[in-house]
Structures are given as C-alpha cells and as structure tokens.
C-alpha cells in the first residue's frame, strides 16, 4: 500500500529541466523559463565549440543536437527544451523519438504562435540560413493561419555579432538595416500616403533565432516610422508558456513545495570564460560559473 508521503513524492520531481542551444543565445529562452517557472532548476548547455549551427547541414545539426541532448539526459533532466531555432527546425522530431518518453520542446512552434497572435497578415522571419531555407517557420505559421504571407531572411552575420557581445553601434545598425531592407521592401512601404497604420495592415518581424532578441533596439531603429505597425516578437515567452502548460497539465512533475532552492547550472563545450562574459547579457543576470564538457 502507498503511504501518503510516498504518494506526495510521486507528484513531484526536483530534477532540473535541460535547455540546449548552439551558444549563449538560448540564455534568452532560459531567462523566460526562469521567470515563468521560478521554483525549477535548470541545466543549460551551449555547444560553443561547434557554433554556428545555422550554416551547417540538417544531418550535421541533428547529430550535434542528439549528442548535446545526451549530456543533459545523462545528468537526469526531467524535460528538454531545444532553445535553438536551427536545431528545433531540423531535430525536434528526432530528439523526441530518441529520448521518448522524455518531454522535448522546441522553439519554432511557440515562435509561430507569438507571430500569429499579433494579427498581422504578413510575417517576416529572421533566422539562420538553415532555419530559413528549411522552411520550418513557414510551415508552422501557415498551419496556424493558412492566409498568412510569410517572408524569410537569413541573417547569419547577426549570430557572429551577438556572440561577439556587439549588440549596438554603427556596425550592428548597418548590418540590421541591410538585412531588413532586403526583406521589408515591398512588404512594408515607408510611412506616407497609403502606408499601413496597424499591425494587421503592416507586418510582424519574427526573431527566429535565439541570438536576435539582443538586436531589438537596433531593429526598431532600422524600422523607423514603420515600427509603429511592425511588432517584433520572439519565441522565448511563448516557449516558456508551452513548457509551463505541460507542468499545469501534470505531464511534467514540478519541484516539491518547500524543496531546495532552484539551481542554475551552465555548461559549455568551449570558452567558459567567454561564455561567462558574453552570456550575462542574454540571461540578464551575472554568471558565476560555467562548466566545460567535451561531446
């Protein structure tokens, strides 16, 4: 017979949630997860040795993602969040199948939900070469709203700038302007007679790469007056909400009440000091320690 104490224990699980990205960008998703699930512990892996993922083939990214997930699974995570758009786009199904019944979450579906919620008829997706050419966002958005017009723009230089810790300044402004000009011309006309005035008539910019939220200010500046009718969204908050919904539904067990204080453990595959220095900007809090692992 199960005692009440044992029944209680079975309802809870103090194990951490695993979060994985190619680098420090996924810390923006970890930040949102921490806000949404403040009692939970997290184990974050940034595969900094092999970044960027966005220029590599789907087969290579799948292999990298399986290896990165293995580290987290071996350390006993109770759920896995792929906080990398490129890996989510090509490896979510493979990871979910490989590690079943472990709950595995990606960021593409939640990112599409965030963009569709703005009401815009047009969505401009900014992502890595692999994410844009693979069309995962296109499919996710059209599944939600088949009448949407979806445009994609690969912005690989932004990944390098973000990993450099360069989020503002003339080089960033130039690169952002160049990328946006290439995709927004013809989608959103400059303000003036006949120009759109609401998000519905304008377009939504979807930051389809975990590294891009740090360029929000530069993107708003590049949009100029169009910023009034071009909402900018990313997948961090909606991914955290999707994970929290699984806890609420009882499909992932939460930490016990009055359990130990939550722990955040950060792991990188290279450059621990660099990760610490650059990462705090994405996590929005100081980083005390980063462990190194070899995949």
Shortest distance in whole angstroms from residue 156 CB to ligand DGL: 7
Label the pairing between strands 17-21 and 42-46. Answer: parallel
155 catalytically annotated: no
Nearest residue to ligand DGL, by Cβ distance, number only = 54
User: Of 36 and 85, which has the nearer Cβ to ligand DGL?
Assistant: 85
DSSP conformation letters of 64-75? HHHHHHHHHHHT
In the set 94, 161, 209, 218, the catalytic residue is 209
The phi, psi pair for 113, rounded to 5°, reads -60, -45
Pick from 233, 249, 32, 220: which is nearest to 113 by CA? Answer: 233
Q: Which CB, 124 or 209, lies closer to ligand DGL?
A: 209
Binding site for ligand DGL (CB under 6 A): 21-23, 25, 51-54, 84-86, 128, 131, 159, 209-211
Q: What letter does residue 179 receive in the DSSP assignment?
A: H
CB of 27 to ligand DGL, least distance (A): 10
Instruction: Please give the DSSP secondary-structure letter assigned to residue 153.
Output: E
Least CB distance to ligand DGL at residue 31 (A): 14
- Toward ligand DGL, which CB reaches closer, 53 or 229? 53
For residue 101, the tally of other CB atoms under 10 A from its CB is 7
Q: Which two tokens stand for residue 287?
A: 């980083």
Which residue, 8 or 284, has its beta carbon nearer to ligand DGL? 284
Closer residue to ligand DGL (CB): 43 or 188: 43
Active site residue 84: yes
Torsion of CA 274, 275, 278, 282, to 10 degrees: 180
In whole angstroms, what is the distance from residue 52 CA to residue 68 CA? 14
Residue closest to 129 by CA, chosen among 73, 85, 183 = 85
User: Smallest distance from the beta carbon of 160 to ligand DGL, in angstroms?
Assistant: 9
Report, in Å, the least distance between residue 288 CB and ligand DGL.
23
Positions marked catalytic: 84, 209
């Amino acid at each position: 017979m199960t005692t009440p104490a044992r029944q209680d224990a079975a309802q809870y699980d103090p194990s951490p949630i695993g979060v994985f990205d190619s680098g420090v960008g996924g810390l923006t998703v970890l930040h949102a997860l921490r806000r949404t699930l403040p009692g939970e512990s997290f184990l974050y892996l940034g595969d900094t040795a092999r970044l960027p993922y966005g220029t590599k083939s789907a087969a290579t990214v799948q292999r990298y993602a399986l290896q990165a997930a293995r580290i987290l699974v071996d350390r006993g995570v109770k759920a896995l969040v792929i906080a990398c758009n490129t890996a989510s786009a090509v490896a979510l199904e493979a990871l979910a199948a490989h590690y079943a019944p472990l709950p595995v979450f990606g960021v593409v579906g939640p990112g599409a939900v965030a963009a569709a919620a703005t009401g815009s008829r047009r969505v401009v997706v900014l992502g890595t070469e692999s994410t844009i050419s693979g069309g995962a966002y296109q499919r996710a958005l059209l599944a939600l709203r088949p009448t949407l017009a979806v445009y994609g723009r690969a912005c690989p230089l932004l990944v390098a700038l973000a990993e450099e810790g360069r989020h503002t300044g003339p080089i960033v402004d130039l690169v952002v302007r160049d990328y946006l000009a290439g995709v927004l011309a013809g989608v959103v006309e400059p303000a003036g007679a006949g120009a759109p005035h609401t998000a519905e008539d304008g377009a939504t910019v979807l930051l389809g790469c975990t590294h891009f939220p740090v360029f929000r200010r530069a993107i708003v500046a590049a949009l100029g007056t169009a910023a009034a009718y071009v909402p900018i969204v990313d997948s961090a908050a909606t991914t955290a909400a999707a994970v929290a919904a699984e806890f609420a539904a009882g499909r992932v067990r939460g930490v016990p009440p009055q359990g130990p204080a939550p722990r955040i453990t950060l792991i990188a595959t290279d450059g621990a000091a660099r990760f610490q220095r650059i990462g705090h900007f994405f996590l929005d809090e100081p980083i005390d320690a980063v462990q190194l692992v070899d995949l």
